[in-house]
Amino acid sequence: MTIEDIEAAARRFSGRVLTTPLVASPSLSKRCGVPVGLKLEHHQTTGSFKLRGATNAVLSLSNEERARGVVAASTGNHGRALAHAARAEGSLATICMSHLVPENKVSEIRRLGADVRIVGSSQDEAQEEVERLVAEKGLVMVPPFDHPAVVAGQGTLGLEIVEQMPDVALVLVPVSGGGLAAGVAAAVKARRPATRVIGLTMERGAAMQASLAAGKPVLVEEQPSLADSLGGGIGLDNRVTFRMCRELLDDIILLTEGEIAAGMRHAYAEEREIVEGAGAVGIAALLAGKINDIDGPIAVILSGRNVHMGLHLSVMNGETDPFRKEAAA
């Protein structure tokens, strides 16, 4: 993965994907003692950064491949993005998801015209259905993260950050399978090698962090979390994102459910932004004092807004861990 791949992705989907704003956060800047900017990627057309990678991947296919149809496993946001990107190019998307994916995300994917398959209780089980459909029906797999075109598409967000905040010293990025983190880190470090990029994820089922600690991709138990978009494994045969995250990320920090809830509340009360749990992890890490050695401007990626509004309301009303009984069961 090179900076040229990321620059090519930006050119390829120009006009199809929004350039999202990066705005100052007075409250977080005061708390941290340095300028803090919020990259409002949750304002993206489908409500998350996933549209970048999905669109680049679909546009990179041949006409024959698009005619066969695309398929992917998803925790929700990639499925929504792929359904949108496929429909825009006259292709049909099939999205496989586990029972852990919130219904609001499932219904939106159906609304976009995708064929939805609900399979099992983990991302890995959904992926097994994807592989069956590829083998039996000839569909073209567009993975949610471990694919060069997907990573390059997500990396365009890093290009925008450097253009919008040229003196950025630290970028805080959500990390799950690593497509966003790898792409952003590749872009940012190509343009500003001294800038640190730190990945953020929830304590429950932190697949990339566990894999990096083990020195190889490992399986983790997928558990309910406010940051549901960060759930799922990285794939035992991971080819792209594990290596890139190992080489490019400066650290990965884990957050409790209570800390994620606090991040969501701050986004709403202080920034007037509605974000899902995965989108709030950067704010959460700053509020919890988990970022050390702050020596310059910080860019915080708000990666998605596709939260069930009933859940969002309960968090705004003080709920810190709606899933604790399920997680303990």
Q: What residue ranges do the domains of the chain occupy?
A: 3-48+147-328, 50-141
pLDDT of residue 325: 53
Amino acid at 156: T
- The CATH topology of domain 3-48+147-328 is Rossmann fold (3.40.50)
Distance, in Å, from the CA atom of 280 to the CA atom of 300, rounded to the nearest integer, reads 9
Which of 48, 60, 176, 303 is flagged as catalytic? Answer: 303
Say if residue 136 is exposed, middle or buried (CB neighbours under 10 Å; 0-12, 13-18, 19+).
exposed
The answer to whether 126 and 97 are in contact (CB under 8 A) is: yes
Query: What local confidence, expressed as pLDDT, does residue 245 receive?
Result: 98
DSSP helix/strand/coil, 152: helix
Structure confidence at residue 67 (pLDDT): 96
pLDDT of residue 221: 86
Q: Give the pTM.
A: 0.93
Within 8 A by CB and 6+ apart from 54, the residues are: 78, 81, 82, 84, 85, 142, 150, 153
pLDDT of residue 39: 98
Do 3-48+147-328 and 50-141 agree at the fold level?
yes
Which listed residue (25, 39, 50, 211) is catalytic?
Answer: 50
27 is an active site residue: no
Query: Which pLDDT does position 306 carry in this prediction?
Result: 92
The domain over range 50-141 is classified in CATH as 3.90.79.10 = no
Is the Cβ–Cβ distance between 86 and 80 less than 8 Å? Answer: no
Would you give per-residue pLDDT tens digits along the chain (329 residues)? 899 999 999 999 999 999 999 999 999 999 999 999 999 999 999 999 999 999 999 999 999 999 999 999 998 889 999 999 999 999 999 999 999 888 989 999 999 999 999 998 888 889 999 999 999 999 999 999 999 999 999 999 999 999 999 999 999 999 999 999 999 999 999 999 999 999 999 999 899 999 999 999 999 988 889 998 898 889 899 999 999 999 999 999 999 999 999 999 999 999 999 999 999 999 999 999 999 899 999 999 999 999 999 999 999 999 888 877 544 44
- The C-alpha angle 203, 209, 214, rounded to 5 degrees, equals 125
- Cα–Cα distance, 26 to 41 (Å, whole number): 19
pLDDT of residue 329: 43
* Catalytic annotation present for 50: yes
